[in-house]
Structure 1
Amino acid sequence: MSGLGSPVRAYDFLLKFLLVGDSDVGKGEILASLQDGAAESPYGHPAGIDHKTTTILLDGRRVKLQLWDTSGQGRFCTIFRSYSRGAQGVILVYDIANRWSFDGINRWIKEIDEHAPGVPKILVGNRLHLAFKRQVPTEQAQAYAERLGVTFFEVSPLCNFNITESFTELARIVLLRHGMDRLWRPSKVLSLQDLCCRAVVSCTPVHLVDKLPLPVALRSHLKSFSMANGLNARMMHGRSYSLATSSSHKRSSFRKARVAHPPQSPPRNCTRNSCKIS
């Protein structure tokens, strides 16, 4: 709970993904393999729709995924059309041991382009653990994905292979499309040596580095670090300017003091007792 009593949000981004494909290609197996997923939904959903949520870590950001498994049966096409609205990503699933499920991907792409045009997609060949029954060669599926312009994965829920990786890649594609890359642009992590150099350079002018009681190689590295990063110019500029200003001010004051005329002596006919202080 936060200080105002409102609940702390447990994620940075919320995305809605649809798993589409013919029936019996293992979409439910993919959802079941997510150990940290929650099967319950805050909203009621009709038969033919399975829902699960999971949270992945993408470049240090928590991305919560709402995964909707639409049944591949024809009588649920209307449900798919309604649930495709608002989807940010689509996972096209086929069974590598079922040639007919791979040929049916074209039909699902037409449905997606009609009801959710422009939504990012990835192609997933499921049940890699049944490779000894393979009916769809990897090279053919890869070439098909390249023609579609989508990323291709072969996954295995039984071995938990490439499940999270495929979701993570689709989330990255979606967030990049929405211009969210600037929110997690990685920053440079300074090494211990860089931190020490930064601390020394921040309080030492570059022309005084040679006078430090340090080895020659280390002094040379400090000067190179200062010039390469521009730290000395930024950190010492204000300090040097103030010193120069104060020294010039002192010199000008000294000149004024030298040219100032000494106080004139009182006239001879004036006595101390007759002077009045006004």
Structure 2
Amino acid sequence: MNERKIYKIISLSSASDGLSSLYSKYCHKFDSISPFKSSFHIGIDYYSKDVPLLIESDVTLHFWKLSFQARFNFFLEKLVKDADAGLLMFDIMTKSSLYNIEMYIPIFRAHDPTLPIILLGNKVDLMVKRNIEQEYLERYLSRNNITLYYEISVKEDTNKNIEAIFSDLAYLVFNRTQ
């Protein structure tokens, strides 16, 4: 029987970049039970994804999706302390989307300078409207020491590419802790 390992992934994106859609489509969502559920939001959503590995262990990825609002930064600073990886998503049609998430990279790496960060460029189904040049993106990835980068379409993905991302992420955090 395989031993199950659990890893914590802290994630962040701007409001319309597609991260909630990604998790809603490909993960299980766990809502906290709260009497304030309809009127109060603390800026955190929680998702879980089981990923089978071809080695001696299976992995459960726990995704803590934080709101892209400064008033919730104290959650990010606390949660990232024991994170196994960070996941950021931006909209390839909007350069400001990529720029805005860059300010969070130092917070992600404050307690672990080698924390792997995965970057997802979403909305490739709208490539004709792409507003980020490849050269700029390559410099951004290098400057911020991004571990893995993928371009995806949450809207039109046939599940194969996104499942591969979750698998790559699971292997990355598993191998890092061995």
The TM tier, using the shorter chain, reads: 0.7 to 0.9
Which ranges of 4 or more aligned residues in structure 1 deviate by more than 3 Å? 41-46
Q: CA RMSD in A?
A: 2.5
2:30 is aligned with 1:40: yes
Q: 1:19·1:68 contact (CA, 8 Å) conserved in 2?
A: yes
**Is the deviation greater in 114-123 or in 73-82?**
114-123
- CA change 1:83–1:19 in 2 (3 A) is same
The structure whose RCO (Cα within 8 Å, separation 6+) is larger is 2
Give the structure-2-normalised TM-score.
0.81
- CA change 1:12–1:97 in 2 (3 A) is same
Greater strand share, structure number: 2
Q: Which residue of 2 aligns with 1:167?
A: 166
Distance 1:110 1:96 in 2: 22
Q: 1:11·1:55 contact (CA, 8 Å) conserved in 2?
A: no
Q: 1:54·1:64 contact (CA, 8 Å) conserved in 2?
A: yes
Q: 1:90·1:122 contact (CA, 8 Å) conserved in 2?
A: yes
2:149 is aligned with 1:152: yes
Give the structure-1-normalised TM-score.
0.54
Aligned residue type for 1:39: K
Q: Which residue of 2 aligns with 1:95?
A: 91
Once the two structures are TM-superposed, the CA of residue 137 in structure 1 deviates from its matched residue by 2.8
Q: Tell me, which stretches of 5 or more residues in structure 2 are unaligned?
A: none
Aligned residue type for 2:88: L
Correspondence for 2:45 among 43, 47, 50: 50
2:9 is aligned with 1:17: yes
Q: 1:81·1:115 contact (CA, 8 Å) conserved in 2?
A: no
Larger Rg: 1
Aligned residue type for 1:155: I
Q: 1:16·1:87 contact (CA, 8 Å) conserved in 2?
A: yes
**3-state SS of paired residue (1:15):** strand
- CA change 1:115–1:75 in 2 (3 A) is farther
Q: 2:51·2:170 contact (CA, 8 Å) conserved in 1?
A: no
Structure-to-structure mapping, 1:1-278, within 5 angstroms? 12-34=4-26, 37-40=27-30, 47-60=42-55, 61-147=57-143, 148-160=145-157, 162-179=161-178
> For this pair of structures, how many residues does the alignment match?
169
Distance 1:43 1:14 in 2: 22
**3-state SS of paired residue (2:63):** strand
Greater helix share, structure number: 1
Aligned residue type for 1:107: M
Q: Tell me, which stretches of 5 or more residues in structure 1 are unaligned?
A: 1-8, 180-278
- % identity of equivalent residues: 25
Aligned residue type for 2:29: A
